Structure 1
Amino acid sequence: MEFNKAVLDCMQRLRRRLRDEQNLEIRLSQPDAIQAMLTACLCSGDEVTRELGKQLATYSDLAPSLVTKPSSATPAALRQPSVRIYRGQRVMS
């Protein structure tokens, strides 16, 4: 997928909304950032966030129906603790 200004602007707006709304911390440098954003949009109750998710889905050549399907999963169930390596030790954050 090609990242142009429109895609990056949409991702940044969606990232801010998800951080404020669901306390999700998604970095644009993550390899699965788009999929994580689209999954979080499924759980969102805000229509603007859902519209941004649809827009991102069209930019990323994913079916917009992925964003419009109601999901029974909650954001807490989707979030898994991130594991980092710090001085050779696994650290949950």
Structure 2
Amino acid sequence: MEFNKAVLDCMQHLRRRLRDEQQVDIRLSQPDAIQAMLTACLCSGDEMTRDLGKQLATYSDMPAPDRTPSPTAGRSGPSVRIYRGQRVLN
């Protein structure tokens, strides 16, 4: 992905909003910074933050995260599987 002025401005503005709203500290140098910002936008209650997330998704050619719950979203706590008759945490 090419980082131009529009992308960097959007990322910086979104980073400030997320830090103020959710106390999320995302550094622009992180390899997964864009994905972390898009994920944090899902949790935001502010329409402007969600719009910035959509804008960043279009700049980065990544699919905008939607608010549809995943099948594992309803579970709380770590997942458990059975291995040789013993419960094992994942």
TM range (shorter): 0.7 to 0.9
Q: Show the counterpart of 1:36.
A: 36
CA deviation profile, 1:34-93 (whole Å, cap 9, x unmatched): 0000000000000000000000000010123x1x425587xxxxxxxxxxxxxxxxxxxx
Q: Show the counterpart of 1:19.
A: 19
**What TM-score do the two structures reach when normalised by structure 2?**
0.73
User: Max radius of gyration: which structure?
Assistant: 2
Pairwise CA RMSD: 1.6
Letter in 1 for 2:63: A
Question: Gapped runs of 5+ residues in structure 1?
Answer: 74-93
CA deviation profile, 1:8-42 (whole Å, cap 9, x unmatched): 00000000000000001100000000000000000
Q: Show the counterpart of 1:80.
A: none
Question: Gapped runs of 5+ residues in structure 2?
Answer: 74-90
**What TM-score do the two structures reach when normalised by structure 1?**
0.71
Off by >3 Å, runs of 4+ in structure 1: 70-73
Looking at secondary structure, tell me which structure has more helix per residue.
Answer: 1
Number of corresponding residues: 71
Sequence identity (%)? 80
Letter in 1 for 2:67: K
